[in-house]
Chains A and B, each alone.
Chain A
């Protein structure tokens, strides 16, 4: 890609000690880079190491080989320039909504006065539409509201990068839709760089600029990177009426159902870990840059 490599995953592998002294390689030699303001989703079956990739990006876990570079600096551990939105929202239950967001703000800005921290936290509570609930405890909130607090907390530290681990999977369909809309709006407005794990193909198509497809684990690799052919201005209402929608959707589902298993044995000629094939499924058949015939 010609864009600057704002976030660059460079040949990371992760191995775990299995029973009997053997090691299991979860994924091997992953290369992927993102430009600033890009929204990337990663899709793959359970066990392919998606969460481990995210943990390495956040700094909570370390790769056995390779490195991750964010804005020119290699990741050494967890840092405030990368915010995580946890699947289980991970709110501190003894703090109020405001307390949870303010905890993050005061960690980011250690010298700020209480009033400054409060104002800043309130601003982000408003962004996620929770004004009026700032003094409630997490136990008094619905699942969707809890995740909103998690999003407000992550945004409030104004990170370089937002990492999301299936943030909407525990929500009902209606709440999930609303939150997806808001996350999309907020990320577009703030130009946030986002890396998100999801199981939901439609969610990936709606939110992502690019979708990373991972083969089944162990020894998972990036099978290909799908360029989302839909225009950046998309609306949930009519996204399924877009010409290319079903082309992408079918491509993704086809991968999840069939090719994620078989990819390892049927690697396309010239497959390179450093440059996994990039495809752009569209309604009209169009050869991909790497000559992948399945792109349509």
Chain B
């Protein structure tokens, strides 16, 4: 029975989470038991400088309860803005999402028409293949210096990096999907004297849509992976910058919260495209 399977799976999930949280709580609590004051023989000035956590033996890693409390604070006030280095996680997330959506959107506009061209023309497919083969394996971050130098704007450079990393899976999947549309469907359109433009929209696009969506799903995943790294480099705003800034603040709690938020957002983006993919998938 599927319902009971879902139920049992949910139970196991909850159990695993509980075990994980318990071990975490135990591990972080254990270190704190040692000493409370400044250890003897250490210069009090030095202890102050280093921070109490480093000198008393208490772990810098927050306990799950602390993270939970921090998460509550973040979730109840996600959009505050108290200057460049103190913005709410929601606001930072919005900056990152904005960059991803712009870069990804431009990539969609470029990759899908170009993919159609490659998929429909054997000549273009062969002619563009060497470029794609060389450009595809380049780490998107390797483009960053070039982007910064030519564009001279860190925000747009980050968008460019998102564009360049999300364009390849979509391009290749679109080309593959278009090239492998069943010949008989194309023949149906030909015998009905359907023009090339209408044919592209009424036969090739729906036939290739599931493959294209797969490419789009891979791309959004990569874009979301890359934005964090890109924002760590360019700085200023965004969830990636937030992570790095909180690391510099040695606020491990906020780093963990950011990691959680990044994971949940990535899942939501993927689920949205999975939903669209289900809409365009057809059973044969």
Contacts and interface: CB of A to CB of B under 8 A. Distances in A.
A90 B192 contact: no
A139 B283 CA distance: 6
A107 B193 contact: yes
A93 B192 CA distance: 17
Contacts of B280: 94
Contact of B194 (A58, A82, A107, A138): A107
A157 B207 CA distance: 23
Chain A at the B interface: SS class: loop
B192 A137 contact: no
B113 to A, nearest CB: 21
Nearest to B194: A107
B192 A157 contact: yes
A186 interface: no
Given A137-B282, A139-B282, A92 B185 contact: yes
A79 interface: yes
Interface residues of A, number: 24
Interface in A114-158: 137-139, 157
A229 B259 CA distance: 83
Nearest to B189: A107
B35 to A, nearest CB: 69
B202 A137 contact: no
Contacts, number: 57
A79 B188 contact: no
B196 to A, nearest CB: 13
Nearest to B182: A90
A78 B191 contact: yes
Question: B interface, how many residues as a size bin?
Answer: 10 to 19
Given A88-B184, A139-B284, A94 B206 contact: yes
A108 B207 CA distance: 22
Interface string B255-284: 000000000000000000000000010111
Given A80-B193, A107-B193, A90 B188 contact: yes
Most chain-B Cβ atoms within 10 A of its Cβ — which of A79, A82, A84, A107?
A107
B187 interface: yes
Interface in A75-109: 77-80, 82-84, 86, 88, 90, 92-94, 103-104, 107-108
A93 B282 contact: yes
B203 interface: yes
Contacts of A287: none
B191 A83 contact: yes
Contacts of A86: 184, 187-188
Contacts of A157: 192
Contacts of B203: 92
B152 interface: no
Contacts of A170: none
B282 A94 contact: yes
Contacts of A139: 282-284
Contacts of B192: 78, 80, 103-104, 107-108, 157
A108 B171 CA distance: 34
Interface of B: 182, 184-185, 187-188, 190-194, 202-203, 206-207, 280, 282-284
26 contacts: A58-B191, A59-B190, A60-B190, A60-B191, A78-B187, A78-B190, A78-B193, A82-B191, A84-B187, A90-B184, A90-B187, A92-B185, A92-B188, A92-B203, A92-B206, A94-B206, A94-B280, A103-B192, A107-B193, A107-B194, A108-B192, A137-B282, A137-B283, A138-B284, A139-B283, A157-B192
